[in-house]
Amino acid sequence: MTKDELVTIMADKAGITKSQAGTALDAFTDAVAGALSKGGSVTLTGFGAFSVSHRAARAGRNPQTGAALQIPAMDVPKFKAGKALKDAVR
């Protein structure tokens, strides 16, 4: 599903225009990104939780040359699905 398809579904289900649904989706993604960038988390009961996970530095290899390289430590976004979402997918 693309962003445009999601906006169309949101607009139909909420009875609003596609423009308003697009604005709402952008506001949601901005809010989640803002919370995660500050090291927080966002929990939507039944749907899931967005959080930040720390990945330690590690050694890796360049697949083309086989040369060893060091992959730096970094923080990455993580999503854990909630029970209702898991049950809906089953």
Residue 1: C-alpha distances to residues 4, 7, 22, 90 (Å): 8, 10, 15, 19
CATH of domain 40-90: 4.10.520.10
Give tens-digit pLDDT for 13-25: 999 999 999 999 9
Asked whether 31 and 60 are in contact (CB, 8 A), the reply is no
- Where are the domains positioned within the chain? 1-38, 40-90
Cα separation, 69 vs 50, in Å, equals: 30
> What is the number of alpha carbons within 13 Å of residue 42 lying toward its C-beta?
16
Q: Can you tell me whether residue 18 is helix, strand or coil?
A: helix
Q: What is the pTM of this model?
A: 0.81
Asked whether 35 and 42 are in contact (CB, 8 A), the reply is yes
Give tens-digit pLDDT for 24-54: 999 999 999 999 999 999 999 999 999 999 9
